[in-house]
Structure 1
């Protein structure tokens, strides 16, 4: 097999490999590093002797992702404040990751962070890619029965922490629109109507931007915090903690992140803050606030015609 044919075979699988690595790692940068390392492994073997290139590459990529997740977990434990996965939004800037952006919401990604690296890999390969436990066992180096037990434990763990999934995207968008309107208008009563009594707010500034260092709990506290940063003046001051001038243009719009509606604020022509909601039965259960500039670069800028 020629080098050109070997490269073509790998490129055919690149998106799938990136999708696997992203789900296991929650970081596009780490996923891309893993896929690059998988390419180096692929380029060192005789591709013509590989009976099933896709299975081979998925196995290599998954094992590399497991190893990397084990190493980055220590870094995430030392992270300043809560850690949220790196989001993906639609648009030209992330066209290469379209499969990823519409396939796994951030709320689920947050729950996956509570699994062990091996449980997470098994869950991802089973639930997202429909692989059999026998196939997954070959990937992770476990017997079929042991792999099945890992999968069941992971699934039970996910259901325990997120027992219900609101799959009505239209309703999710409606709630997000009302949420944005209430925040922009400073309407406490309207905002409280949307929040579950035990709602939580998780903020990620990563030490690079101002964000709550602890989870905010209860509807009253979450609502007061949101209204405190919602006015244009307060929002500029809040975002200035990321090094952005307070007097530059602020635009807020509804966008789409990981296949779900999100509030995206752009300051000076670049995304600076993202809010996504975990909605169940029409109520907001969790608010995810991301202002870490290191995680905003892959989000598409909002269209000015859609600005709120």
Structure 2
């Protein structure tokens, strides 16, 4: 094959390669893009000896079409998976719900700050550090049942603070809507 042999075979077979790619890819624009990629490969391989250049080019075209189809399918699958895990508009918190959640968190943090030290420490070790109750008992120097009682009282404090918060919110809502207290 001469120096421009593979390029010449490509240019001679370009219309047929374009039709092959269009048939495999489903549209002419994608086929033109694939053909451009083929030309870049031909440029890289132009100086290498190839026994059957036309067959080689058709194989390259078929492989490019397959690669592009697979990449397209993966892209669609990825995009579909992404859309499927996105929350719906009604699932997103609005500004009011976000502010209420922040206020509720502040009420819980305030309740935790008001707890006796050992109770707060036991709750933190159990819930935040995820340490077993037996280890908490050894660290604090109390029995396992003592840890259980501390945690129960801590939960009650948090529940009471949450209930007080909810009652305050309900009262504000009634006052804000003009119904009175």
Which TM class, normalised by the smaller chain length? Answer: 0.3 to 0.5
Structure with bigger helix share is 2
Tell me the TM-score normalized by structure 1.
Answer: 0.23
Higher strand share: 1
